[in-house]
Chain A
Amino acid sequence: MSALTFTLKTRPDQRVDMSPLVCHALEKLDPTEIAAIKLHCGKRKVRVDELFTISGFDSTHILIKNSFSKLDYIGKDLDGGIIHVEGDAGAYCGMGMKKGIINVLGNAGIYAGCEMKKGLLEISGNAGDFLGGALAGNKMGMKGGLILVKGNAGDRVGDHLRRGTILIEGGTGDYCGSRMIAGTIAVMGNTGKFLGHNMRRGTLLLWNMPKLSASFNDCGSHTLAFLPMLFDSFKELNSPFAESENAFNRVQRFAGDMAEIGRGEVLVKI
């Protein structure tokens, strides 16, 4: 069956809330019903067929063509199926997703994968701030699943991260892993200032030595048995994280943030 495809006709000036266009919400709708769904676009509500040309009918596989950075909430609360985004995604892509796969070929805006619970969010370009984080005022970010960013990510990656894994092939901005409760963030590139600020538990796995705050204590170099298993779990990904030559089990371990309970760790490849 051909993927249910939404091809953007023209780029609207206002931001669009794409949250109604998720696989599980469309599975029982016929094409005319899908076309009649109203999307918030700025202060207006517009029909889907006003913004998109619709083709295909397999709602378990949604394709968004000509996507750009103002299409927000793509795959919000996704509960199974695949969403393929050709172009950029706006803010809140994959927010709260429960199951399934979102694949963004371009960049993703702020709060991508925020508070997601399960599934896979793959971003081929860069990701904005608060990747996998918690919404403002909330105390718990991503609770499960995996986010893979092939480019760079902004500030506050994994803010309040509770569980799950964030993999970044490039670098990150400041405050990466801030206020982490648990989970894993792995960064192949460089990280910014205030890494792991106020993190409680969890693991920041780095390929390059970061500039650490004084509230992280050096625990020495170690061979850790869980690391090969962690890398092994990435082997199905289309990423350098899956390549055995990038795996390692020898690390310098820093414990922190001692300004918090200090049960977190920064592991740096040696």
Chain B
Amino acid sequence: MIINGVTIDATFAEAFPMKGTRAIITAQNEKWAMIAAQAMTGFATSVIACGCEAGIERVLTPDETPDGRPGVAIMIFAMGGKGLAKQLETRAGQCVLTSPTSALFAGIDGGIRIPLGKNLRYFGDGFQTSKVISGKRYWRIPVMDGEFLAEATTGQVDAIGGGNFLVLAQSQPQALAACEAAIEEMKKIPNVIMPFPGGVVRSGSKVGSKYKSLGASTNDAFCPTLKGSTKKTDLSPDIESVMEIVIDGLSKEDIDKAMRVGIQAVCDLGSENGIMRISAGNYGGKLGPFHFHLQEIMA
């Protein structure tokens, strides 16, 4: 399959089941809601070493938030429910509770309930109070700038992590420009995040390493400087840079949609802008049960 001169490889992205949740952070203005959201989703690019994958889903207008203030929706994904709950609570406690004027609300009403402000309340040292409003419990925790308002729980649902595609370009600036264009479009899709810095990862990994202590190592098949060094290179001589976009989402359909708009944005730049191929990371179908076939998505 070729779109605008860009070859879409006959391959698939391999994704795996995760647990996901969403939280809504509000503040006096969008600037401070974003600061809290960025702090809460920091150091959360990959479950390999961060414990979770997190990102900003989108900015919310005041009429979309529970307390009528500007807000940001963030999503967190982890391999299991316990790990997710721990990450959510730790991050909420250190990054949102501490952030001036912030408040924290559930972003998913259904699913299994996991603590949001339920345990953070103990920071109130006995001065905390709860209010049940429209059937939902909120904790009011006295803090130095006033009160930190946090909903007691949020919903944990089954999710999918590791959807991805690779952008293969003639140069590094061209690969990055294409990824930026893709992220711009993918950010408009609900229920997904792209957890890596700016949504783009330049150090895609393969499973395993020659070093026993490492579970993952550089994806040498797509490293342009190794074209002559590794036997399994997947790059033609004209490709000088590869970047990857990883997607976590609440459902296969959400990730499908995000991949489609992302790949389309890359293809819109086309071969005239140095974009040669779109490929994907997979492990022969052995790692995860969710397969995102690129040509099917773009059909």
Residues of chain A having any CB pair with chain B under 8 Å: 144, 163, 182, 184, 201, 203, 222-226, 228-230, 232-233, 263, 265
Pick from B67, B130, B134: contact of A225, CB below 8 A: B67
Q: Size band of the B side of the interface?
A: 10 to 19
Between-chain CB contacts (< 8 Å), 7 pairs: A144-B132, A184-B131, A201-B129, A226-B67, A228-B68, A263-B126, A263-B127
Kindly list chain A residues whose C-beta atoms are within 8 Å of the C-beta of B69.
Answer: 225
B147 near A233: Cβ-Cβ < 8 Å: no
Most chain B beta-carbon neighbours within 10 Å: one of A144, A184, A226: A226
For B148, the closest partner residue in chain A by CB is: A225
Question: Complex: how many Å from CA A228 to CA B138?
Answer: 13
Q: Which residue of B126, B127, B149 contacts A226 across the interface (Cβ within 8 Å)?
A: B149
- Residues of A near B138 (CB, < 8 A) are 226, 229
- A222 touching B129 in the complex, CB below 8 Å, given contacts A228-B68, A229-B66: no
B176 on interface, CB distance cutoff 8 Å:
no
Tell me if B140 is interfacial: C-beta within 8 Å of chain A: yes
Report the nearest B residue to A253, measured CB to CB: B147
Q: Does B175 contact A (CB under 8 A)?
A: no
- Known contacts A144-B132, A203-B131, A229-B66; 4 additional CB pairs below 8 A are A224-B147, A225-B67, A225-B146, A263-B127
Docked pose: A228 CA to B69 CA in angstroms = 10
Least CB separation from B26: chain A residue:
A225
Q: Is the CB of B129 within 8 A of A229?
A: no
Residues of A within 8 Å of B126, CB to CB, are: 263
| B103 interface residue (CB < 8 Å to A) | yes
Q: Which residues of B contact A230 (CB under 8 A)?
A: 131, 133
Q: Taking beta carbons and an 8 Å cutoff, which residues of B are in contact with A?
A: 66-69, 103, 126-127, 129-134, 138, 140, 146-147, 149
Give chain A nearest CB distance to B260 CB in angstroms. Answer: 37
Distance to closest chain A CB from B128 (angstroms): 9
Q: Which residue of B lies closest to A225 (CB)?
A: B149
Residues of B near A203 (CB, < 8 A) are 129, 131
Please determine whether A222 and B127 come into contact, CB atoms closer than 8 angstroms: no
Which residues of A sit under 8 angstroms from B146, Cβ to Cβ?
222-225
Contact B134 A233 (CB under 8 A): yes
Which residues on the B side are within 8 Å of A163 (C-beta)?
132
User: Shortest CB–CB separation between residue B4 and chain A, in angstroms?
Assistant: 49
Q: How far is the CB of A241 from chain B (nearest CB, A)?
A: 13
Q: Which residues of A contact B103 (CB under 8 A)?
A: 225
The answer to whether A226 touches B132 (Cβ under 8 A) is no
Q: Which 10 A-B pairs have the closest CB atoms?
A: A233-B134, A225-B149, A233-B133, A229-B133, A225-B103, A228-B68, A226-B131, A226-B149, A225-B67, A230-B133
Residues of chain A lying within 8 A (CB to CB) of residue B129: 201, 203, 263, 265
| B-side contacts of A182, CB under 8 Å | 130
Q: Is the CB–CB distance between A228 and B131 below 8 Å?
A: no
Residues of B within 8 Å of A222, CB to CB, are 146-147
Chain B positions within 8 Å of A225 at CB level: 67, 69, 103, 146-147, 149
Report the nearest B residue to A223, measured CB to CB: B146
Give the Cβ gap from A54 to chain B, nearest Cβ, in Å: 36
With both beta carbons as reference points, the residue of chain A lying nearest to B101 in the complex is identified as A225
What's the least CB distance linking B184 to chain A, in Å?
Answer: 33
> Does the CB pair B132–A229 fall under 8 Å?
no
Q: State in angstroms the CA–CA spacing of A230 and B130 once bound together.
A: 12
Q: Output the least CB separation between B299 and chain A (Å).
A: 46
Which B residue sits closest to A265, measured CB to CB? Answer: B129
Residues of A within 8 A of B130 (CB): 182
- A28–B192 CA distance with the chains assembled, in angstroms: 50
Chain B residues lying within 8 Å of A184, measured Cβ to Cβ, are: 131
Q: Give bound CA distance, A153 to B171, whole Å.
A: 77
List B contacts of A263 (CB < 8 A).
126-127, 129
Whole-angstrom distance between the alpha carbons of A168 and B103 in the complex?
29
Q: Do A229 and B67 contact each other (CB < 8 Å), given the known contacts A163-B132, A223-B146, A224-B147?
A: yes
Q: Which residues of A contact B131 (CB under 8 A)?
A: 184, 203, 226, 230
What is the bound-complex CA distance between A228 and B140, given in angstroms? 14
A130 and B147 alpha carbons, distance in the complex (Å)? 32
> Which residues of chain B are near A223, meaning CB under 8 Å?
146
Q: How close is B67's CB to chain A, nearest CB, in angstroms?
A: 6
List A contacts of B133 (CB < 8 A).
226, 229-230, 233
CB distance from A226 to the nearest CB of B (A): 5
Q: What distance in Å separates the Cβ of B112 from its nearest Cβ neighbour in chain A?
A: 24
Q: Roughly how many angstroms separate A223 CA and B67 CA in the complex, as a whole number?
A: 13
Contacts of B140 in A (CB 8 A): 224, 226
Assembly CA distance A211 to B134 (angstroms): 31
Nearest-neighbor residue (CB-CB) of B128 within chain A: A263
List, in ascending order, chain B residues with CB within 8 A of A226's CB: 67, 131, 133, 138, 140, 147, 149
Complex CA distance for A265 and B129, rounded to whole angstroms: 10
**Neighbouring A residues of B127 by C-beta, 8 Å:** 263
Smallest Cβ distance from A187 to chain B, in angstroms?
A: 17
In Å, the complex CA distance between A224 and B103 comes to 11
